[in-house]
């Protein structure tokens, strides 16, 4: 078996410490995935990701389908070979992007018709097609196509999207298993996605209905899209107890540094977020003391590293004064260095969280993170 | 003596192979300097520059004077410490930038009044001030302030600029030597700059008048600014025989890959150019077969490296198809990878040139480079 998920230890909070094995290597859980939407983590080379100890990244089906095209990537040996990233990759289904980026969306029971945000060309994405694209990309974990709605959503809209997402998951699962049967192997793990907006009962219903489809892993989607953190927590907490404890749980699109441990405490094993990379490009740096807005004039002569407690290559070599200068001067290298540091910070949070779970100490870690980030940015 | 220049070997063409020693290390000559105008080579970290084997870089007085300010950099331990670059640095005087970038220029015998291109603030740059700034920056080699005129220039304008540049060089030299005397040490090498536009006799006159000031090195400026390559060559050839053979010669702002060996054959030891870094950001890659415009659709499925003969980290890992995708998708990482490759290409040309000189074979190398780049970009 090329795939496996083992839980080694649990924390009193409900957090789990384990390992997810894929054909491209094993990943210690819980883990955070840097986002490489278009087969690149913005500002980082694959060498840098390896140096940072990133064990897995997230890429995007919608973007790669439109450009360069999944058939091109298939022809070039799959996504791992295309981007020269030998470690595991998760691909999101593109559902979120179809609903947030593209134009002229018409949703039917079969799929969604949309216009490319790049050239206006028309496309029809079905659950089967999203699965097919991800098989062509050859990611280690593929997500089913889901209908993403705006939050806050009226209940009837949330109900309809939930039902459609479950139906689409059924089509996606059937298609995927048929392909696996034909090819005689299981090339990737396919995850279902729990929806239900901010309605607790709908979240539970969504989870229960997806369980029938027996996915090897489950994601919680449609959260952290503008609702208060308490709601994100509450909705996740409704769902995780229902999900099979022997399968990985992926909370999509989260989160802020101080929130990560909260999600882990709910039994979440996987997360992704553009925050560390996007904030870096906007000169917002994460440190053990909280956020540092490095363009602030107060850093003009600051000879300290970004974070005195950080062991990343940027903190070992460069000062705040230099980083501030690079951002003020609009130098490309500013984004490169800032991204390196922020991704290190997130990966390091996860290392600390995994350690905290092993010592049964996650609750303390979580309080400490909230205290550090309670003040506004410096 | 912390500074030294030794010539180990000459080539029948007139090319010289040697070593320039500075307090921050020795550099094999002839050499090419990547341009780090604002204390950063656009798209490269200092780690990347070290990995590439860059032995020296060029930074700019005008830019660093305006931002972050030379007093800030002095306070932070000088430019080497500020940017964490322990190897040698040359600083250009800012003359070229004052005349090409800034507004409201009024030139007097004492200096030039200009407005910052950043905030419109007014400044007065004198030969002494340019020397003072560079002493504050602590570069290993400083350039005197020169008056740069547009090409083609009328003879009377070229004559006037030549005379003023020589006078400014006199002021700069006197100021520099007085500072060195006061401090009891010679912290950097100060180079004079030969001007004279495209008039052979003015070029010779400029060189002869500067020789009286006994600079430890001489630059040739105001060339490669739009005139045909033959003129650049002819003007340089007028000057180099007049310059002392035991001192380094720096041809400023050159050149295209196939031209580098031509300049070396004239006895040039140092060069700098934004071409490798700027072209990289515009998806123009240099290869042993000539230029590759990587956004071209023909590379969409090309699994070869940028240059099959290249040993750089980018060519060892990534394909043309992936680079094309990154540029087409507007990914930051595209510029990072392309810059890495192009700078490697330039540094490698210099390595080959140094080897060719040692084998007395530079003329052949030069013909080969011209042949490779004779065709247009692919």
- Model confidence pLDDT, tens digit, residues B220-231: 999 999 999 999
pLDDT for A102 equals: 79
Q: Is this complex's ipTM strictly greater than 0.90?
A: yes
Interface test with chain A among B332, B335, B340, B342, by most A beta carbons within 10 Å: B332
Q: Are B95 and B147 in contact (CB under 8 A)?
A: yes
Whole-number percent of chain B with pLDDT over 90: 93
Q: Is the pLDDT of residue B109 over 60?
A: yes
Question: What does the block give as tokens for B22?
Answer: 């500075």
- Report whether B210 contacts B166 (CB < 8 A): yes
Taking CB atoms and an 8 Å limit, are A333 and B67 in contact across chains?
A: no
- Name chain B contacts of A303, Cβ cutoff 8 Å: 76
| A82–B328 C-beta distance less than 8 A | no
- The tens digit of pLDDT for each residue in A198-218 reads 999 999 999 999 999 999 999
CB count, 10 Å around CB of B355? 13
Residues on A contacting B at a C-beta cutoff of 8 Å:
38-47, 63, 67-68, 72, 75-76, 82-84, 281, 300-301, 303, 313, 317-319, 321-322, 324-326, 328-329, 331-337
**Residue B340 burial (CB < 10 Å; 0-12/13-18/19+)?**
buried
- The full set of domains in chain B, from first to last, is 4-273 (3.20.20.105), 280-374 (no CATH)
Query: Measured between CB atoms, which of B38, B41, B331 is closest to A42?
Result: B331
Comparing A260 with B11, which gets the higher pLDDT? Answer: A260
pLDDT at residue A151 tops 90? no
Q: Which residue among the candidates A262, A269, A272, A348 is catalytic per the annotation?
A: A272
Task: Tell me the average pLDDT across A241-250.
Answer: 98
B40 contacts A326? CB cut-off 8 A: yes
* CA of B301 vs chain A CAs: smallest distance (Å): 7
E strand segments, B86-238: 89-92, 103-107, 112-115, 122-125, 141-143, 189-194, 218-220
Contact criterion met (CB < 8 Å) for A40 and B331: yes
Q: Which residue of A has its CA nearest to B38?
A: A329
Determine the longest span between alpha carbons in chain A, in angstroms: 64
Contacts of A317 in chain B (CB under 8 A): 46-47, 84
Inter-chain CB proximity B325 and A300 less than 8 Å: no
Instruction: Name A203's bridge partners.
Output: none
CB distance B111 to B145 below 8 Å: yes
Question: Whose CA is closest to A71, among A83, A80, A79?
Answer: A79
Contact check, Cβ <8 Å, A331/B38: yes
Q: Closest Cα partner for A147 from A189, A93, A183?
A: A93
Tell me whether residue B92 is one of the annotated catalytic residues: yes
Q: State the residue for tokens 């002493």.
A: B135
Residues 6+ apart with CB under 8 A from B99: B105, B112, B147, B148, B149
Chain B residue set in contact with A, beta carbons under 8 Å: 38-47, 63, 67-68, 72, 75-76, 82-84, 281, 300-301, 303, 313, 317-319, 321-322, 324-326, 328-329, 331-337
Which residues have C-beta within 8 Å of that of residue A19, sequence separation ≥ 6? A4, A5, A6, A8, A26, A27, A28, A29
Closest by Cα among A165, A121, A137 to A61: A137
- Is the pLDDT at A311 greater than 60, yes or no? yes
What's the CA gap between B267 and B14, in Å, rounded? 5
Candidate list A92, A140, A146, A262, residue with the active-site label: A92
Give the model's confidence band at B104: pLDDT under 50 very low, under 70 low, under 90 confident, else very high: confident
Angle at A277 between CA A258 and CA A133, to 5 degrees: 110
pLDDT classification of B356: cutoffs 50, 70, 90: very high
- Cβ–Cβ under 8 Å, residues B345 and B260: no
- Measure the N-to-C terminal CA separation of chain B; round to a whole number of Å: 49
Distance CA A229, CA A254 (A): 10
List B262, B272, B307, B348, catalytic entry: B272
Phi, psi torsion values for A270, nearest 5 degrees: -140, 140
How sure is the predictor about A54, in pLDDT bands with cuts at 50, 70 and 90?
very high
- How many Å lie between the alpha carbon of A350 and the closest alpha carbon of chain B? 25
pLDDT exceeding 90 applies to what percent of chain A? 93
List CB contacts (< 8 A) between A47 and chain B: 313, 317
Cα gap A201→B101, rounded to integer Å: 64
Given pLDDT bands bounded at 50, 70 and 90, which one contains residue A104? Answer: confident
- The pLDDT of B186-214, averaged and rounded, is 97
Percentages (nearest 5) of helix, strand, coil residues in chain A: 45, 20, 35
Q: H helices within A5-104, ranges in order?
A: 46-52, 61-66, 70-75, 79-83, 95-100
Inter-chain residue contact A84 with B40, CB threshold 8 Å: no
- Residue B3 dihedral angles phi and psi, to the nearest 5°: -110, 140
Provide the residue count of chain B: 378
Residue B1, pLDDT score = 53
CB contact under 8 A, A38 and B317: no
Phi–psi pair at A169, nearest 5 degrees: -60, -40
| Chain B CB contacts of A342 below 8 Å | none
Tell if the CB–CB gap between A313 and B84 is shorter than 8 Å: no
| Residues above pLDDT 70, as percent of chain B | 100
Q: Name the residue with tokens 């045909």.
A: B228
Question: Do residues A124 and A164 touch, judged by C-beta distance below 8 A?
Answer: no
Tokens of A367: 């309080």
Q: Residue A354 carries which DSSP code?
A: H
Known active-site residue A146: no
Q: Is it the case that residue B47 has pLDDT exceeding 70?
A: yes
Place of tokens 């390196």: A340
Instruction: Tell me the pairing of strands B249-251 and B270-272.
Output: parallel
Q: Which of the following is catalytic: B11, B92, B269, B307?
A: B92
Using an 8 Å CB-CB cutoff, list chain A residues near B41.
333
Closest CA to B73 of B130, B133, B17, B126: B133
């Amino acid at each position: 078996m090329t795939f496996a998920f083992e839980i080694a230890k649990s924390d009193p909070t409900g957090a789990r410490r384990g390992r997810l094995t894929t054909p491209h290597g094993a990943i210690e859980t819980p883990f955070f995935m840097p986002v490489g939407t278009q087969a690149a983590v913005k500002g980082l080379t694959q060498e840098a990701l390896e140096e940072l100890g990133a064990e897995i990244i997230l890429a995007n089906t919608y973007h790669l389908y439109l450009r360069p095209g999944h058939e091109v990537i298939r022809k070039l040996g799959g996504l791992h070979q295309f981007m020269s990233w030998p470690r595991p990759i998760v691909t999101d289904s593109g559902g979120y992007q179809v609903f947030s980026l593209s134009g002229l969306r018409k949703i039917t029971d079969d799929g969604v018709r949309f216009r490319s945000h790049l050239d206006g060309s028309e496309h029809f994405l079905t659950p089967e097609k999203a699965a097919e694209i991800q098989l062509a990309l050859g990611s280690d974990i593929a997500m089913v196509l889901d209908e993403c709605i705006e939050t806050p959503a009226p209940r009837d809209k949330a109900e309809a999207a939930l039902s459609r997402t479950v139906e689409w998951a059924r089509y996606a699962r059937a298609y995927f298993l048929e392909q696996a049967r034909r090819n005689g192997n299981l090339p990737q793990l396919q995850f279902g996605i729990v929806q239900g907006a901010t309605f607790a009962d709908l979240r539970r219903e969504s989870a229960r209905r997806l369980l029938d489809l027996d996915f090897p892993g489950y994601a919680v989607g449609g959260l952290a899209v503008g609702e208060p953190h308490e709601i994100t927590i509450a909705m996740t907490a409704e769902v995780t107890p229902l999900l099979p404890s022997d399968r990985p749980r992926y909370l999509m699109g989260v989160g802020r540094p101080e929130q990560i441990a909260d999600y882990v405490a709910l039994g979440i094993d996987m997360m992704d977020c553009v925050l560390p990379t996007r904030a870096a490009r906007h000169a917002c740096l994460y440190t053990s003391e909280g956020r540092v807005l490095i363009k602030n004039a107060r850093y003009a002569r600051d000879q300290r590293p970004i974070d005195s407690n950080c062991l990343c290559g940027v903190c070992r070599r460069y000062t705040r004064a230099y980083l501030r200068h690079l951002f003020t001067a609009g130098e490309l290298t500013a984004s490169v260095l800032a991204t390196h540091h922020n991704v290190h910070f997130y990966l390091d949070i996860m290392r600390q969280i995994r350690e905290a779970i092993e010592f049964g100490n996650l609750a303390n870690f979580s309080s400490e993170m909230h205290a550090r980030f309670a003040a506004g940015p410096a």
